[in-house]
Structure 1
Amino acid sequence: METLDLTTDIQPVTEFRANTSEILESLKKNRRTIILTQHGRPAAVLESVEEYQRKLEELRFMKGLVAGLRDIESGQVVEGEDFFQGLKSRMADGK
Protein backbone atom coordinates (compact mmCIF):
# COMPACT_ATOMS: atom_id res chain seq x y z
CA MET A 1 0.00 0.00 0.00
CA GLU A 2 1.35 3.38 -0.95
CA THR A 3 2.16 5.95 1.69
CA LEU A 4 0.22 9.18 1.53
CA ASP A 5 2.44 12.17 0.73
CA LEU A 6 0.79 15.08 2.52
CA THR A 7 2.53 17.66 0.31
CA THR A 8 1.34 16.32 -3.05
CA ASP A 9 -1.47 13.81 -2.52
CA ILE A 10 -3.91 16.19 -0.80
CA GLN A 11 -5.22 19.01 -2.97
CA PRO A 12 -8.12 21.44 -2.76
CA VAL A 13 -10.89 20.96 -5.28
CA THR A 14 -10.20 24.48 -6.59
CA GLU A 15 -6.69 23.33 -7.55
CA PHE A 16 -8.21 20.36 -9.35
CA ARG A 17 -10.61 22.63 -11.25
CA ALA A 18 -7.78 24.94 -12.28
CA ASN A 19 -5.39 22.17 -13.34
CA THR A 20 -7.62 19.23 -14.28
CA SER A 21 -5.65 18.06 -17.33
CA GLU A 22 -2.29 18.20 -15.57
CA ILE A 23 -3.59 16.40 -12.49
CA LEU A 24 -5.23 13.65 -14.58
CA GLU A 25 -2.01 13.19 -16.55
CA SER A 26 -0.07 12.96 -13.29
CA LEU A 27 -2.49 10.32 -12.00
CA LYS A 28 -1.82 8.13 -15.03
CA LYS A 29 1.93 8.66 -14.87
CA ASN A 30 2.57 8.37 -11.11
CA ARG A 31 -0.22 5.91 -10.18
CA ARG A 32 -0.85 7.79 -6.94
CA THR A 33 -4.17 8.49 -5.30
CA ILE A 34 -5.14 12.11 -4.68
CA ILE A 35 -7.42 13.27 -1.87
CA LEU A 36 -9.48 16.31 -2.87
CA THR A 37 -10.54 18.66 -0.13
CA GLN A 38 -13.40 21.11 0.02
CA HIS A 39 -13.41 23.82 2.67
CA GLY A 40 -10.34 22.18 4.20
CA ARG A 41 -12.02 18.78 4.70
CA PRO A 42 -11.58 15.55 2.72
CA ALA A 43 -14.27 15.41 0.01
CA ALA A 44 -13.25 12.85 -2.62
CA VAL A 45 -10.63 10.34 -3.68
CA LEU A 46 -9.24 10.53 -7.19
CA GLU A 47 -7.19 7.82 -8.90
CA SER A 48 -6.50 6.54 -12.39
CA VAL A 49 -8.76 3.92 -13.93
CA GLU A 50 -5.80 1.51 -14.06
CA GLU A 51 -5.11 1.95 -10.36
CA TYR A 52 -8.79 1.55 -9.53
CA GLN A 53 -8.94 -1.67 -11.58
CA ARG A 54 -5.80 -3.00 -9.86
CA LYS A 55 -7.36 -2.34 -6.46
CA LEU A 56 -10.60 -4.07 -7.48
CA GLU A 57 -8.66 -7.15 -8.57
CA GLU A 58 -6.68 -7.11 -5.33
CA LEU A 59 -9.89 -6.83 -3.32
CA ARG A 60 -11.48 -9.71 -5.26
CA PHE A 61 -8.42 -11.86 -4.51
CA MET A 62 -8.49 -10.95 -0.81
CA LYS A 63 -12.21 -11.78 -0.58
CA GLY A 64 -11.43 -15.20 -2.08
CA LEU A 65 -8.74 -15.78 0.53
CA VAL A 66 -11.10 -14.83 3.36
CA ALA A 67 -13.80 -17.14 1.97
CA GLY A 68 -11.26 -19.96 1.78
CA LEU A 69 -10.12 -19.39 5.36
CA ARG A 70 -13.74 -19.45 6.54
CA ASP A 71 -14.29 -22.74 4.71
CA ILE A 72 -11.23 -24.20 6.43
CA GLU A 73 -12.41 -22.98 9.84
CA SER A 74 -15.88 -24.47 9.33
CA GLY A 75 -14.51 -27.77 8.02
CA GLN A 76 -16.02 -27.30 4.56
CA VAL A 77 -12.99 -28.63 2.73
CA VAL A 78 -12.16 -31.64 0.58
CA GLU A 79 -8.79 -33.39 0.63
CA GLY A 80 -6.82 -32.72 -2.54
CA GLU A 81 -6.67 -36.38 -3.52
CA ASP A 82 -10.45 -36.77 -3.11
CA PHE A 83 -11.04 -33.63 -5.16
CA PHE A 84 -8.90 -34.81 -8.07
CA GLN A 85 -10.43 -38.29 -7.97
CA GLY A 86 -13.91 -36.77 -8.18
CA LEU A 87 -12.79 -34.52 -11.02
CA LYS A 88 -11.36 -37.48 -12.94
CA SER A 89 -14.62 -39.40 -12.42
CA ARG A 90 -16.70 -36.49 -13.76
CA MET A 91 -14.43 -36.12 -16.76
CA ALA A 92 -14.71 -39.84 -17.51
CA ASP A 93 -18.50 -39.63 -17.26
CA GLY A 94 -18.51 -36.71 -19.70
CA LYS A 95 -20.05 -34.24 -17.21
Structure 2
Amino acid sequence: MKIALVTTLKRQATKILADLHASKEPVLITEHGQPSAYLVDVEDYEMMQDRMALLEGLAKGEAAFSEGRVVSHVQAKERMSKWLK
Protein backbone atom coordinates (compact mmCIF):
# COMPACT_ATOMS: atom_id res chain seq x y z
CA MET A 1 0.00 0.00 0.00
CA LYS A 2 1.20 3.46 -0.83
CA ILE A 3 1.39 6.20 1.78
CA ALA A 4 1.16 9.91 1.07
CA LEU A 5 1.21 12.99 3.26
CA VAL A 6 -1.85 15.20 3.06
CA THR A 7 0.41 18.04 1.89
CA THR A 8 1.67 15.81 -0.95
CA LEU A 9 -1.93 15.07 -1.89
CA LYS A 10 -2.66 18.80 -2.01
CA ARG A 11 0.33 19.48 -4.25
CA GLN A 12 0.23 16.38 -6.46
CA ALA A 13 -3.41 15.30 -6.51
CA THR A 14 -3.50 14.72 -10.26
CA LYS A 15 -0.39 12.51 -10.20
CA ILE A 16 -1.55 10.56 -7.14
CA LEU A 17 -4.95 9.95 -8.74
CA ALA A 18 -3.34 8.87 -12.02
CA ASP A 19 -1.11 6.41 -10.14
CA LEU A 20 -4.12 5.16 -8.19
CA HIS A 21 -6.14 4.51 -11.35
CA ALA A 22 -3.19 2.77 -13.00
CA SER A 23 -2.19 0.55 -10.07
CA LYS A 24 -5.57 0.16 -8.30
CA GLU A 25 -3.51 0.24 -5.09
CA PRO A 26 -5.10 2.21 -2.21
CA VAL A 27 -3.23 5.21 -0.85
CA LEU A 28 -3.09 5.87 2.89
CA ILE A 29 -3.21 9.61 3.55
CA THR A 30 -1.51 10.76 6.73
CA GLU A 31 -1.74 14.00 8.70
CA HIS A 32 0.86 14.84 11.32
CA GLY A 33 2.24 11.31 11.03
CA GLN A 34 -1.13 9.68 11.78
CA PRO A 35 -3.39 7.76 9.36
CA SER A 36 -6.22 10.03 8.26
CA ALA A 37 -7.96 8.50 5.23
CA TYR A 38 -7.69 5.96 2.46
CA LEU A 39 -7.88 6.97 -1.16
CA VAL A 40 -9.32 4.14 -3.27
CA ASP A 41 -10.44 3.71 -6.85
CA VAL A 42 -14.18 4.23 -7.41
CA GLU A 43 -14.72 0.71 -8.78
CA ASP A 44 -12.93 -0.82 -5.80
CA TYR A 45 -14.96 1.29 -3.37
CA GLU A 46 -18.25 0.27 -5.01
CA MET A 47 -17.20 -3.39 -4.95
CA MET A 48 -16.38 -3.10 -1.24
CA GLN A 49 -19.79 -1.54 -0.58
CA ASP A 50 -21.52 -4.39 -2.44
CA ARG A 51 -19.53 -6.95 -0.44
CA MET A 52 -20.43 -5.24 2.83
CA ALA A 53 -24.13 -5.27 1.94
CA LEU A 54 -23.92 -8.98 1.11
CA LEU A 55 -22.08 -9.77 4.35
CA GLU A 56 -24.60 -7.76 6.38
CA GLY A 57 -27.44 -9.69 4.73
CA LEU A 58 -25.75 -13.00 5.52
CA ALA A 59 -25.19 -11.95 9.12
CA LYS A 60 -28.87 -11.02 9.48
CA GLY A 61 -29.87 -14.39 8.03
CA GLU A 62 -27.57 -16.27 10.37
CA ALA A 63 -28.92 -14.31 13.35
CA ALA A 64 -32.51 -15.04 12.33
CA PHE A 65 -31.69 -18.73 11.97
CA SER A 66 -29.97 -18.80 15.37
CA GLU A 67 -33.04 -17.17 16.94
CA GLY A 68 -35.37 -19.67 15.32
CA ARG A 69 -36.98 -17.11 13.02
CA VAL A 70 -37.37 -19.45 10.07
CA VAL A 71 -40.20 -20.48 7.76
CA SER A 72 -40.82 -23.55 5.67
CA HIS A 73 -40.19 -23.63 1.94
CA VAL A 74 -43.93 -23.49 1.26
CA GLN A 75 -44.37 -20.46 3.54
CA ALA A 76 -41.43 -18.71 1.89
CA LYS A 77 -42.89 -19.33 -1.59
CA GLU A 78 -46.23 -17.91 -0.45
CA ARG A 79 -44.58 -14.77 0.92
CA MET A 80 -42.46 -14.31 -2.18
CA SER A 81 -45.40 -14.76 -4.54
CA LYS A 82 -47.01 -11.65 -3.03
CA TRP A 83 -43.97 -9.58 -3.99
CA LEU A 84 -43.52 -11.09 -7.43
CA LYS A 85 -47.02 -10.41 -8.76
TM normalised by structure 1 equals 0.72
Of 18, 22, 32, which residue of structure 1 is paired with 2:15? 22
Equivalent residue letter for 1:58: R
Unaligned 5+ segments in structure 2 are: none
Secondary structure in 2 aligned to 1:71?
Answer: helix
- State how many pairs are aligned: 84
TM normalised by structure 2 equals 0.79
Equivalence for 1:12: 5
Question: Which one has the largest radius of gyration?
Answer: 1
Q: Which 4+ stretches in 1 moved above 4 angstroms? A: 87-91
**Aligned Cα root-mean-square deviation (Å):** 2.3
Counterpart CA distance in 2 for 1:74 and 1:24 is: 47
